[in-house]
Amino acid sequence: MALTPKEILQGLAGFKTDDGLQPLKLGYIQDVAVEPHADGTRVNLHVDDVWQGKAVAESHRTALGAFIKSQYPDVTDVRIIPRSKEQAEHARKIAKPGQAPPRTPVGVKMIAVISGKGGVGKSTVSINLARALAQLGFRTGILDCDIYGFSVPDLLQLTEPVKSQERRFVPPRVQGIDVMSMKFFVGHNAPVMWRGPMLGKAIRQMMEDTVWNNPEYLILDLPPGTGDIAMDIHQYFPKAAAVLVTTPDHNAARVAERAGQMARSMDRRLLGVVENMSFMNCPECGYAWYPLGQGGAELVGKNLAIPVLAKIPWVIQGDSGVSGLVPEGNPAETIYRKLAQTVVETDLVPTGPVSLQP
């Protein structure tokens, strides 16, 4: 018999933290979802983000996960996802557990993630921001607009081919994010060698011929730079607000600033700057060091008069790790969650149902 959320909730009645808190009794457990997978069962548990007036401790989350695994041997993966009460309420409104999300298209808020230089982590920030928004309960999609340099599917370790339905494409879903990328339409790592008009057609088709699940947020991973391609793609999404990504070194920051100026000259609203690969923490003593220097985000922020939204540390992946998603329990998870919360609290204007039409 498959495990049910109710059984997990019943089991949680027996859980206490080291310091004697009973989260179920205290009303900190928001909801449980059980997902059967080929290699076992995954449990996603939303909990309040504040316990006893403080952000829920990492140790409480770890203990909760370990408890569930110890009670139910079929469970191979537990995700404890903190969320504010308001976000839980919002999530309940948009998708009652067990029910399909409403079919009426709602407005989509688009966020273009942009950078000056390649390789600063624009795609990494895009996927982790998308996941954090999905974890907050929003239907979220990501469109990899980096037609020539697509990397979103690889960073998400997506291997399955895209499926079609009535001559449209069904985007694969990873961790609650619907993903569309040029990668799905080209041969194994084949280069895309198209010029302008074809490029525009590809973006338009990926948007319009995709069966999007009425996303509330669509993250656009734009190509880096200020050249023709980046400008063309900016034009396709006139209403998207932008998040600028830089690394801390001042050279990258100056290039990022130019990309920000270009976006602004095209009437794009700049929400702020995210500094990626900002610092490294020693896993033993917590000592922070700065392999790429410091001050890049502040420089961009000051010169463009935009806020620094987040500083993301270096994230060390495991031996097998080619995934760009921050591993569960890594401190960067909390930083991305706060970034997503900032985005949610920003008065973004929805653009109407997903469409490229302005």
At position 109, the amino acid (one-letter code) is: K
Q: Which of 71, 330 has the CB closer to ligand ATP?
A: 330
- Residue 117 assigned ligand-binding role: yes
Taking Cα atoms as reference points, which of 85, 74, 76, 69 lies closest to residue 31? 85
Query: Per-residue x/- mask for ligand ATP, residues 121 to 140, rule CB under 6 A?
Result: xxxx----------------
# binding residues, ligand ATP (CB under 6 A)? 18
Contacts of 33 (CB under 8 A, 6+ apart): 5, 43, 44, 45, 97
Query: Per-residue x/- mask for ligand ATP, residues 309 to 348, rule CB under 6 A?
Result: ---x-xx--------x------------------------
**Shortest separation between residue 317's beta carbon and ligand ATP, angstroms:** 7
**Shortest separation between residue 122's beta carbon and ligand ATP, angstroms:** 4
- The C-alpha angle 296, 125, 152, rounded to 5 degrees, equals 135
State the Cα–Cα distance between residues 118 and 223, nearest whole angstrom: 8
**Shortest separation between residue 216's beta carbon and ligand ATP, angstroms:** 24
Count of CA atoms in the C-beta half-sphere (13 A) of 176:
23
Q: Which of 111, 312 has the CB closer to ligand ATP?
A: 312
- Decide: helix, strand or coil at residue 183: helix
**Shortest separation between residue 221's beta carbon and ligand ATP, angstroms:** 7
Q: Which of 38, 193 has the CB closer to ligand ATP?
A: 193
149 belongs to the binding site for ligand ATP (CB under 6 A): yes
116 belongs to the binding site for ligand ATP (CB under 6 A): no
Q: Which of 115, 181 has the CB closer to ligand ATP?
A: 115
First to last CA, the chain: 50
Burial of 31 (0-12, 13-18, 19+ CB in 10 A): middle
Query: Per-residue x/- mask for ligand ATP, residues 215 to 254, rule CB under 6 A?
Result: ---------x------------------------------
**Shortest separation between residue 347's beta carbon and ligand ATP, angstroms:** 27
State the Cα–Cα distance between residues 272 and 270, nearest whole angstrom: 6
At position 246, the amino acid (one-letter code) is: T
- Decide: helix, strand or coil at residue 215: coil
- Residue 116 assigned ligand-binding role: yes
| Long-range CB contacts for residues 88-96, cutoff 8 Å, separation at least 24 | 88/30, 88/31, 88/46, 88/48, 88/137, 90/136, 90/137, 90/138, 91/46, 91/136, 91/137, 91/138, 92/137, 94/137, 94/138, 94/139, 94/216, 95/137, 95/139
At position 266, the amino acid (one-letter code) is: M
Q: Which of 276, 351 has the CB closer to ligand ATP?
A: 276
Quick one: which segment of 18-26, 63-71, 198-206, 308-316 binds ligand ATP (CB under 6 A)?
308-316
Contact residues for ligand ATP, defined by CB under 6 A: 115, 118-124, 146, 149, 151, 224, 276-277, 312, 314-315, 324
Binding residues: 116-123
Binding residues for ATP: 116-123
